[in-house]
Structure 1
Amino acid sequence: MRENKSERIRIKDIALKAGVSVGTVDRVIHGRTGVSEASRKKVEEILKQMNYQPNMYASALASNKKYNLACLLPLHTQEDYWMDIEAGMKHAVSTYKDFNIRLNILYYDQYEPGAFSEAGKEMLETMPDGVIMAPSSEDETKDTALQLKERNVPFIFIDSNLKSLNPLSFYGQNSHSSGYFAARILSLMADKNDSVVIFRLIYGGRLGSNQQRNREEGFREYIKNNCPGIKLYELDFYVKKPEDNERIMKEFFEKHPEINCGITFNSKAYIIGEYMQKTGRKGFKMMGYDLLRRNVKCLKEGTIDFIIAQQPTEQGQSCIECLFEHLILKKDVKPYNYMPITLISKENIDFYLDAHVRTNNI
């Protein structure tokens, strides 16, 4: 093991070289007051000459400061993708429990206009030291982001990114590239002149997340540029009731029996997979996102062909680690952190799930 050079440089040695007391050196290293400008400059010059790097980890432990982190996520059920995001965050908070990190998770209805802003106001009242947000539209997210910047509170975007708001960092897939990749795979599954249906879940006239919109844009771009013979249809679900979804699909496929390929850019691919199983329809080629339990079941039963996974547990864990490094260890952090675009089929799903559990141990 290599010896840490900073640990070999004693504060006593620095004080001796600078001609000041040990207490003065300690105050300069930790940015405290009570040091003359001349002494500070002299100590800083010696620190630079000796290439001294303070042990921020030990200093943070010794400070006993409490850190209040806040997270703003869409409302979700126990089976949703966001549960793995939360699991990753809670695991990271537990890992850093000695640093007095507290995490407060708040929720907003992503299909309700103004819900993000209201949840943002509630979040700001908690006086957070750092924030993780799954952003809504740019207009709705902007006000909360600006208020955080005014308070000098760092924030991270998770799942979808709004570059114009300049977050400290982002964790998620490149959604446009993900949709582009999905189109390439689906075009290999379909004949050149096949039609493809895009299944979309819409509530209150809203499509949902920025990720879904960006994925669809990437998908359409690939089809337009590379498979002009493929005709795209859209099928929107406006309600949550399963029987309404079934009726909408029944009417659509009665009108378009020739369509045998479909994709959804949200995590609800199981709605289509379960319908295909219930109606006994064979040979429909289907792609979706996220390893929800019901999606995995459809994948194994053959009513979903491929799922694109996003490593949500890793995303959640990495966001906490990023704030830890920025706030506590005072390190520079990477602004863009793109998750792999992982294609899952029934042939590799068990291996992927086993590896996921071993890696995260959650």
Structure 2
Amino acid sequence: MKKYTIKDIAEQAGVSKGTVDRVIHKRGKVSQKALEKVTKILEEIDYKPNPIAQSLKNNKVYLICVVLPDPNEDNFWIPCVDGVNQAIEEFRSFLVDIKLFFYGPSSTQSFKEVNEQILKLTPDAVLLSPLFQKESINAIKSFRSAGIVVSTFNSQIDLEQAVSFVGQDLYQSGRVAAKLMHTIVPDDHDIVICHFSESLSNAIHMQQKEKGFRDYFNGLKGADHKILTLSVDQADPDQSLVNFLKSNNKALGFFVTTSKSYNLVEMLQDQSHKDIKVIGYDLLDKNNDLLKKNKISFLIHQSPKTQTYIGLTYLIEHFLFNKEIPNKKLLPIGIVNSENLITYLES
């Protein structure tokens, strides 16, 4: 099948190459007669423009900023940096400039300052993890007002201004955790939803997980579990757990809504609680070691590297190749135990 160039089409239509270019890209003025001639030929040959050639011809460098919690303060985000670097490597031959920005995972002020800095750069797009709900909504609105495309990952915010979300259905992952907990905790024991957070009210990802977890048990018939919530005091986590256990001695199952399962297990060991069942998130080294020793029963794998890689790739291909950005991309909810951990670590 012959590959037609703009020159070929111009010769067949009896017009200039510039006229053909204006028709194909729908820009500039073209006479009705020339438009009809060129359009007819394009339809006959089923012409498809070369997106790579187009992106190079535009000679524009697209700036995309990626906003992450600092991986030096929270190891969960290390694979996210790997995902960004993978995308950078794959598109290194194209006119794309990708910049990484880190904020303190427990500091709303740090988050605001980083996004203000990015706003001054006027990038084409921003990919961010909206850890703080209120501040994230304000940042996204500011970006969109400046004409900047915004995509999110890891935590989903119900906001029109965010064009895309890549991650898991966190409500459903909470239900998955509840189903697992129901299989390992006898009906006559209490179950605890454990949050390690400065402000649960501003952490939408933890709220969604708790809601899914509670809704699962609320929908069970004849279940005798009491579902409790523990927000660990970050200033004195050990004492807050001691006080909780003193007044809740029937607590047997703990669902940790973040990657801090290892923190809980370490505190429980100090209190000689050896039969506690723990379900949490993320394949951090400390979590993995405890999973192997069966001190954590299950971990839910959120595929952080894949989240950032896909989210960034969607933005890059949108600018380079004019591809539409999907509104939502939900990743599978991985259930990891001591028996299948190795398969996740090797993948």
TM-score scaled by structure 1? 0.87
Secondary structure at 1:331's aligned position in 2? coil
* Alpha-carbon distance, 1:313 to partner: 0.5
Decide whether the 8 Å contact of 1:299 with 1:306 is kept in 2.
Answer: yes
Deviations 1:279-322 (A, max 9, x none): 55322111001111111111112111100001111111111110
Residue number among 171, 195, 202 corresponding to 1:200 in the alignment? 195
Gaps of 5+ in 1: 356-362
CA distance in 2, matches of 1:323, 1:38: 37
Structure 1 distance, partners of 2:295, 2:202, is 24
Are the counterparts in 1 of residues 200 and 207 from structure 2 also a CA contact under 8 Å? no
Q: Decide which of 153, 157, 171 is 2:148's aligned counterpart.
A: 153
Q: Which whole-Å deviations, capped at 9, do the CAs of 1:328-356 have from their partners, x for residues lacking one?
A: 1001122110011000001000111102x
Q: Offset of 1:167 from its aligned partner?
A: 2.0
| 2:253 pairs with 1:261 | yes
Once structures 1 and 2 are overlaid, which stretch shifts more, 191-200 or 244-253? 244-253
Equivalent position of 1:225 in the other structure: 219
Deviates more, 1:314-323 or 1:267-276: 267-276
2 CA distance for matches of 1:324 and 1:63?
15
| 1:69 and 2:64 correspond | yes
- CA distance in 1 between counterparts of 2:132 and 2:243 reads 32
- 1:201 CA drift (Å): 1.4
Give SS of 1:8's match. Answer: coil
SS in structure 2 at match of 1:121: helix
**C-alpha distance in structure 2 between counterparts of 1:130 and 1:61, whole Å:** 19
**Is the aligned partner of 1:305 residue 2:297?**
yes
Out of 42, 49, 65, which is 1:47 matched to? 42
1:75-224 equivalent positions in 2, closer than 5 A: 75-77=70-72, 80-113=75-108, 115-203=110-198, 205-206=199-200, 209-224=203-218
User: How far is the alpha carbon of 1:49 from its aligned partner?
Assistant: 3.8
Contact 1:79/1:292 (CA < 8 Å) preserved in 2? Answer: no
Q: 1:27–1:34: 8 Å Cα contact kept in structure 2?
A: yes
**What are the Cα deviations for residues 219-272 of structure 1, in whole angstroms up to 9, with x where unaligned?**
1111111164210222222225xxx32333233334433322111111101111
**How big is each residue's C-alpha offset from its partner over 1:197-217, in whole Å with a ceiling of 9 and x where there is no partner?**
1211132x4456311110111
1:333 — aligned with what? 325
**Which shifted more, 258-267 or 17-26?**
17-26
Higher mean alpha-carbon deviation, 19-28 vs 337-346, is at 19-28
The code of the aligned residue for 2:329 comes to N
DSSP-derived class of the 1:313 partner? helix
Gap change, CA 1:136 and 1:267, over 3 Å in 2: closer
Pair 268,52 (structure 1): closer, same or farther in 2 beyond 3 Å: same
Provide the aligned length of Structure 1 versus Structure 2: 346
Tell me the equivalent position of 1:287.
279
Q: State the alpha-carbon separation in 2 of the partners of residues 354 and 120 from structure 1.
A: 35
- CA–CA distance in 2 between the matches of 1:87 and 1:27? 41
Aligned with 1:245 (options 234, 237, 242): 237
Structure 2: tracts of 5 or more residues without a match: none
C-alpha distance after superposition, 1:85-128 (max 9, x if no partner): 12101210121011132222223345445554433221111110
2:6 aligned to which of 7, 11, 14: 11
1:220 alignment partner AA: R
* 1:212–1:266 CA contact under 8 A, matched in 2: yes
* SS of residue in 2 equivalent to 1:282: coil
Which 10-residue stretch deviates more, 263-272 or 55-64?
55-64
Q: What letter matches 1:124 in structure 2? A: L
Residue 274 of structure 1, CA deviation: 2.4
Distance in 2 of aligned mates of 1:156 and 1:325: 13
Whether the 8 Å contact between 2:133 and 2:203 is mirrored in structure 1 is: no
Query: Hey, what's the Cα distance between the residues in 2 that align with 1:349 and 1:283?
Result: 22
State, as a whole percentage, how many aligned pairs show the same letter. Answer: 28
Distance 1:262 1:143, change over 3 A: closer
Amino acid at match of 1:260: L
Query: What amino acid does structure 2 have at the position aligned with 1:50?
Result: I
Q: What amino acid maps onto 2:175 in structure 1?
A: Y
